[in-house]
Amino acid sequence: MKAVRQWSVRHAAGLERLYEAFAQLAPLLRPLATIIGKQGTERMLAPLERGAKQLMFDCRMCGTCVLRKTGMACPTNCGKSMRNGPCGGVRADGGCEVDPAMRCVWLEARDGMRRISPHDERTGSLPPIDFSRRDRSTWIEVIDGAPERVQPPAPPPRDRPIHAFEAACRSGRFVTTVEIAPPDSADPAALLARAAIFAGLVDAMNITDGAGGNCHMSSAAAAAILAAHGHTPVCQIACRDRNRIAVQGDILGAAALGVRNILCLTGDDVSQGDHPQAKPVFDLDAVNLLRIARDMRDKGEFASGRKLETPPDLFIGATANPFAPPFDDRIDNLEMKIDAGAQFIQTQFCFDLDLFHRFMDVVRARGLHDRARMIVGVGTLSSVKALRWMAHHVPGVRIPDSVLARIAQADDQRAEGVAVLEETIRKLREIEGVAGVHLMGHRNEATLAEAIVRSGVRA
């Protein structure tokens, strides 16, 4: 099956011509379909379509075929159901985060698009799968002349209050955010103790949402607790665990409890965490979650179109990973997220400044830093052993050998790690278009607070 799938991508240009011919000729079958009836025609077509497309593309009959936009690579084969380019977990050899033996579907898609249209290999923005159409025929829609499903244009921004973190980002000063792991506890005391370490040192505190596929207190609840205690939380919302009904409920609930900032992300696969038996949901990807959150705020409606009584006031963020292949796709993916509503971006750990410089060169050339605040992920761990583990086990993290060697040779590896972190923060501060740093480090709060003070970003 894999070989046939790869053959289809290699012959994407020929298959595209075949699809185009079908699109031109299909309306001629409309009178016949009218005589047989739409349902009857679909009953005849669906098994044919399923047989042909399963063989050629490993198709799952999602009912809204997008093969012509994805270079004849079927995106339903993606382990995280990504609809708008690769996730941040693509391995260095192009292997999938979920199934390392499989090449990332979105690398295949870009190859196929390059064959179809050598001057523009972008795959375009796709709406979420319409699961009510699962197992239905797409060919009948072509015969029927049904309009193509496209993403609706962005609504005009709504006038709304500007809260603390957004005001800090708009001020133009260098901002600092930190990631806090919510506790494995029904008692908020541990969460508040962690947050207290950063009081006065950061502009906002991200509460991770089952980071790495591990179970903790919910991000929405932890963010609400912090907001009630005078902190400025960023509630992270991952697509891995909840469908579109649940995430919209969480966005409204968090906003009603005083949470003003959200970070939309696809999320790590469940296989990375402590519940590998769990069902990965991935009903949405980050781009579609961003659109939904923005439309809840600016259109005042759910994804279904049903009106909200009171829209949430939200400052909306997204993630980016400049350090994972395919590097060219990273900028397109970033732009897609900004188009979908991202106002601030927090990146994966930056250890490779050369690569990050190259990323920012393109970000500036495309003016993306003017449309969303770029906040760069930084951090350290206590030893070179821990850093090596992270580089090998956390998809999308890249640590150059020179950095590992420097820390390995130090007498005090923890102190050297902090020194590298401080230097990185200082260097990032000098890069045009970098709006701030986002400190990450699982249960490493004291070290991160020390690095914030010593790097001089906050007194």
Q: Which residues contact 348 (CB under 8 A, 6 or more apart)?
A: 88, 319, 320, 321, 322, 323, 324, 377, 396, 397
Least distance from ligand SF4 to the Cβ atom of residue 304, Å: 27
Residue from 89, 188, 213, 377 binding ligand SF4 (CB under 6 A): 89
Residue from 42, 97, 268, 445 binding ligand SF4 (CB under 6 A): 97
**Contact call for residue 98 and ligand SF4 (CB under 6 A):** yes
Taking the C-alpha atoms of residue 449 and residue 202, their distance in angstroms, rounded to an integer, is 9
CA distances from 358 to 93, 327, 353, 354, 385 (A): 20, 10, 9, 7, 28
CB nearer to ligand SF4: pick between 239 and 259? 239
CB nearer to ligand SF4: pick between 62 and 457? 62
Residue from 56, 57, 73, 86 binding ligand SF4 (CB under 6 A): 86
Least distance from ligand SF4 to the Cβ atom of residue 86, Å: 4
List the beta bridge partners of residue 205. Answer: 178, 233
Amino acid letter for position 9? V
Interface with ligand SF4 by CB under 6 A: which range of 91-99, 141-149, 152-160, 381-389?
Answer: 91-99
Residue from 12, 62, 66, 96 binding ligand SF4 (CB under 6 A): 96
CB nearer to ligand SF4: pick between 78 and 435? 78
Q: Which residues contact 271 (CB under 8 A, 6 or more apart)?
A: 98, 213
Alpha carbon of residue 19 to chain centroid: 31
CB-based contact 88:321 (threshold 8 Å): yes
Residue from 90, 207, 434, 457 binding ligand SF4 (CB under 6 A): 90
Least distance from ligand SF4 to the Cβ atom of residue 453, Å: 37
**H or E stretch covering 180:** strand 175-180
Interface with ligand SF4 by CB under 6 A: which range of 74-82, 119-127, 238-246, 334-342?
Answer: 74-82
Least distance from ligand SF4 to the Cβ atom of residue 62, Å: 15
Least distance from ligand SF4 to the Cβ atom of residue 372, Å: 22
Taking the C-alpha atoms of residue 459 and residue 441, their distance in angstroms, rounded to an integer, is 21
CB nearer to ligand SF4: pick between 254 and 281? 281
CA atoms within 13 A on the CB side of 100: 10
Judged by CB under 6 A, the chain residues 103 through 132 that form the site for ligand SF4 are: 104-106
Least distance from ligand SF4 to the Cβ atom of residue 81, Å: 8
Residue from 59, 66, 87, 205 binding ligand SF4 (CB under 6 A): 87
CA distances from 443 to 181, 361, 382, 435 (A): 7, 33, 11, 25
Least distance from ligand SF4 to the Cβ atom of residue 189, Å: 37
Least distance from ligand SF4 to the Cβ atom of residue 371, Å: 24
Question: How does DSSP classify residue 316?
Answer: E
Interface with ligand SF4 by CB under 6 A: which range of 99-107, 127-135, 166-174, 315-323?
Answer: 99-107
**H or E stretch covering 190:** helix 189-196
Least distance from ligand SF4 to the Cβ atom of residue 97, Å: 4
CB-based contact 440:387 (threshold 8 Å): no
CB-based contact 377:347 (threshold 8 Å): yes
CB nearer to ligand SF4: pick between 240 and 438? 240
Both tokens of residue 457?
């970003």
CB nearer to ligand SF4: pick between 84 and 232? 84
Q: Which residues bind ligand SF4 (CB under 6 A)?
A: 78-80, 82, 86-87, 89-90, 96-98, 104-106
